Structure 1
Amino acid sequence: MATKTLLILSILVAFSLFRPSEACGISTYWGQNGNEGTLLQACQSGYYQFINVAFLIDFGCGITPRMNLAGHCDPPSGTCRGLITEIQACQNLGIKMLLSLGGSAGTYGLCSTEDANQVAAYLYDTFLSGKSSTGPLGAVALDGIDFDIEYPRSTLYWDDLARALASYSTPEKKVYLSAAPQCPIPDRNLDTAIKTGLFDYVWVQFYNNPPCDYRSGIAGLIDAWNDWSVYLPEGNQLFLGLPAATGAGAGYAPPDVIVSQVLPVIRNSPNYGGVMLWSRFYDTTFSATIQPAVCGNKLHHEDLLISMV
Structure 2
Amino acid sequence: MALASRRPASLLALAALLSVVGLLAGPAAATGKTGQVTVFWGRNKAEGSLREACDSGTYTIVIISFLNVYGRGKYSLDLSGHPVAGIGDDIKHCQSKNMLVFLSIGGFGNRYSLPTSKSAADVADYLWNAYLAGSRWGVFRPFGDAAVDGIDFFIDQGSPDHYDELARRLWSYNKGYRARTPVQLTATPRCAFPDRRVERALATGLVGRIHVRFYDDPSYDASLQREWDKWTAAYPDSEIYVGLPASEQTVGYVHPKKLYYDVISVVQKAANYGGIMIWDRYSDKRTNYSSYAKGWA
Give the TM-score category using the shorter length. 0.7 to 0.9
Q: Which residue of 2 aligns with 1:151?
A: 157
Q: Which residue of 2 aligns with 1:44?
A: 55
8 Å contact kept, 1:67–1:136:
no
RMSD: 2.0
- Name the CA distance, whole Å, in 2 between partners of 1:254 and 1:108: 34
Tell me the alpha carbon deviations over residues 206-250 of structure 1, each in whole angstroms, 9 at most, x when there is no partner.
11235647xx5xxx1122111111112x32100001111123x31
8 Å contact kept, 1:212–1:221:
no
Asked whether 1:53 is paired with 2:64, we answer yes
Q: What amino acid is the match of 1:190?
A: V
Q: Which residue of 1 aligns with 2:241?
A: 239
Q: 1:211 to 1:58 in 2, by over 3 A?
A: closer
Q: Which residue of 2 aligns with 1:165?
A: 170
- Name the CA distance, whole Å, in 2 between partners of 1:171 and 1:124: 17
CA positional deviation for 1:23? 6.5
Q: TM-score under structure 1 normalisation?
A: 0.79
- Name the CA distance, whole Å, in 2 between partners of 1:176 and 1:206: 23
1:189 aligns to what SS in structure 2? helix
**1:107-186 matches, cutoff 5 A:** 107-129=111-133, 131=135, 134-152=140-158, 154-169=159-174, 170-174=177-181, 175-186=183-194
Structure 1: stretches of 5+ with no match in the other structure: 1-19, 74-79, 295-309
Q: 1:268 to 1:228 in 2, by over 3 A?
A: same
Q: Which residue of 2 aligns with 1:28?
A: 39
Asked whether 1:69 is paired with 2:72, we answer no
8 Å contact kept, 1:55–1:67:
yes
Q: What amino acid is the match of 2:55?
A: Q
- Name the CA distance, whole Å, in 1 between partners of 2:85 and 2:148: 13
Structure 1 stretch displaced more, 106-115 or 88-97: 106-115
Tell me the alpha carbon deviations over residues 47-99 of structure 1, each in whole angstroms, 9 at most, x when there is no partner.
1111110110100122x1001111211xxxxxx13211111010011111000
Structure 2: stretches of 5+ with no match in the other structure: 1-30
Q: 1:23 to 1:129 in 2, by over 3 A?
A: farther
8 Å contact kept, 1:21–1:237:
no
Q: 1:157 to 1:21 in 2, by over 3 A?
A: farther
* Bigger relative contact order (CA 8 A; separation at least 6): 2
Q: Which residue of 1 aligns with 2:92?
A: 88
Q: Which residue of 2 aligns with 1:4?
A: none
2:46 aligns to what SS in structure 1? coil
Q: Which residue of 2 aligns with 1:260?
A: 261
2:191 aligns to what SS in structure 1? coil
- Name the CA distance, whole Å, in 2 between partners of 1:195 and 1:118: 21
Of 194, 198, 221 in structure 2, the residue corresponding to residue 190 of structure 1 is: 198
CA positional deviation for 1:265? 2.3
Q: Which residue of 2 aligns with 1:77?
A: none
Q: TM-score under structure 2 normalisation?
A: 0.82
8 Å contact kept, 1:23–1:49:
no
Q: What amino acid is the match of 1:83?
A: I
